[in-house]
Amino acid sequence: MSDLDVHSRLLNPHKCIVCETPLINRRQHSKTCISRCRTQLYRQKKENSVLVKFRLPLNVYTNLVIAVMSAGKGVDEHLQELLKREHA
């Protein structure tokens, strides 16, 4: 990271998405400041979702996992995107 990048991050740090505390000296991809906020975010996401269980043929599951891994995503995220496209 260049000196300019460090300076701009100190002037405009990103914020915790729960409590909006500036995230100084945190990784760039961090979303929360402390474990309490991380837990609160997890619980909010859990409340706003539904667990759906279903069976897939092995070859369909294998193709799904390959697609997910090549896209660098999680299975949940990949399926959500597919459903959004289907209903858009």
Q: Where along the chain do its domains lie? A: 1-49, 50-88
pLDDT of the chain along its 88 residues, tens only?
455 554 555 555 689 999 999 988 888 888 899 999 999 999 988 888 887 788 989 999 899 889 888 888 888 888 888 888 888 6
Report yes or no: 35 and 45 within 8 Å, Cβ to Cβ. no
Neighbours of 10 (CB within 10 A): 11
pTM of full prediction above 0.95: no
User: Tokens 């409340």 appear where?
Assistant: 47
